[in-house]
Amino acid sequence: MGIIDVDNLPYPDGDFYAFEDLLTDKERDRLHEIRAWLAAEVKPHAADWWNAGEFPHHMIPKVAELDVMSPVYRQGYSNLFAGLCHAEMTRADTSFATFMGVHDGLFTGSIEALASEEQKAAWLPDIYAMKKIGAFGLTEPLGGSDVAGGTRTTARRDGDNWILNGEKRWIGNATFSDWVVIYARDLEDNQVKGFMVDTKTPGYSATKIENKIALRTVQNADIVLDNVVVGDEFHLKGANSFRDTNKVLKVTRLAVAWQAVGQQMAAFDVARKYAVERKQFGKPLASFQLVQEQLVKILGNTVSSLGMMVRLAQLEDLGQAKDEQSALAKAFTTARMRESVALGRSILGGNGIVTDYGMAKIFADAEAIYSYEGTYEINTLVTGRAITGVAAFV
């Protein structure tokens, strides 16, 4: 048996139930265009960027030219299209997708959802053109899942200004971003408010977090705010409580669930190719029953995750999606993802623990997706509260 052309096998994209057919012709063509761009510009270089732990700044103008910013709010595409695009970005490189998730999702989403019309008019053009890169400052050194009720970073009103003090941790893009949205607790009313902070402002500093085993290309940072002064015109006028902040998190939680779909697509791509082309005992790995069972398990996990996300995207388009549905999606898809990438790594054997073969990076990056935008446990309890009426956490 010669080498098999994996790309010409049935279901080359792993879309086993043809979910892409739910897109309009325009959306499908655009998705294929983005997929081809990712295959040419991102995927071939992703492992090198990851191994070096460096962000490819030269890619930002290329991404700007691709014009993928704010597909729903700005460009009028469906939430299904936006979700499938984010899955495709993750499929090519999770770090690249996370960079976009921070800049286009958390940061830009904060402006789109919580800024005044005047603020949007002043800030969004440069953000959409990627002339200004943003970050999102919510998580803190001592506050992760409990940050909603325990935000330690403070904001104090001083005439026409606000004085910000505190620390943030795990803030993606923050080592090189131009702006960062900082969420801080107002000392006067004890409510969490949002502020647009220029990273050149005196008292602001960001230090890269080293020694990560996941998303190594993403530049996560520890931020220190030492009497940072921002004018009241930089207070997001619609960000006056954590309930407001959650409007952003509800949407970005969905984006992370889409990442879990893309991560499983990536695992399936690598594992299937390896199983078909790698020979053991004189025949392809794919000829062994247990290997086929593992591949089908990865595919089943991917399809079930994708089906959930397709329906949730439809509910988003109808304006009917609920917080607890986003929470269940994030918990379910990331749990399936964890199993899928482990199966994929197993199929590759020893080659699954070096980045040369693709799977090791997929396997490691999955751990970050599993934890950020609400851990599996917290999202499970949010869903549990919705179906029982009883809160299992404060």
The answer to whether 338 and 305 have CB atoms below 8 angstroms apart is no
pLDDT confidence band for 2 (50 / 70 / 90) = low
Give the distance, in angstroms, between the CA of residue 92 and the centroid of all CA atoms in the same chain. 13
Largest interatomic CA distance in the chain: 78
Could you report the per-residue pLDDT of 131-172, keeping only the tens digit for each?
999 999 999 998 666 666 678 999 999 999 999 999 999 999
Would 348 be classed as within a structural domain?
A: yes
Mean pLDDT along residues 89-113: 96
Count of C-beta atoms within a 10 Å radius of residue 289: 7
Domain end (from 182, 213, 242): 242
Q: Give the per-residue pLDDT at 1.
A: 47
Identify which of 16, 134, 20, 120 has the alpha carbon closest to the alpha carbon of residue 78: 20
Count of C-beta atoms within a 10 Å radius of residue 211: 6
C-alpha to C-alpha distances, 33 to 30, 36, 71, 239, 313, nearest whole angstrom:
5, 5, 14, 36, 21
Same domain flag for 216 and 291: no
Residue 190 belongs to domain spanning: 134-242
Would 230 be classed as within a structural domain?
A: yes
C-alpha to C-alpha distances, 256 to 106, 121, 174, nearest whole angstrom:
11, 28, 19
As for how many domains the chain has, the answer is 3
Would 188 be classed as within a structural domain?
A: yes
Q: CATH code at 206?
A: 2.40.110.10
At 171, is the secondary structure helix, strand, or coil?
strand
Same domain flag for 175 and 230: yes
> Which uninterrupted H or E stretch holds 322?
none
Domain end (from 211, 242, 273): 242
Same domain flag for 196 and 298: no
Same domain flag for 344 and 225: no
Same domain flag for 160 and 217: yes
Burial 73-96 (b: 16+ CB within 10 A, else e): beeebbbbbbbbbbbbbbbbbbbb
CA dist., res. 119 & res. 391, Å (int): 37
Burial 3-12 (b: 16+ CB within 10 A, else e): eeeeeeeeee
- Name the token pair of 219: 């530049």
Identify which of 199, 187, 179 has the alpha carbon closest to the alpha carbon of residue 123: 179
Same domain flag for 165 and 182: yes
Same domain flag for 110 and 179: no
Domain end (from 217, 242, 267): 242
Would 51 be classed as within a structural domain?
A: yes
Which percentage of the chain shows pLDDT scores above 70? 94
Q: CATH code at 27?
A: 1.10.540.10
Could you report the per-residue pLDDT of 199-226, keeping only the tens digit for each?
999 999 999 999 999 999 999 999 999 9
- Please determine, for residue 74, whether its predicted confidence score (pLDDT) is greater than 70: yes
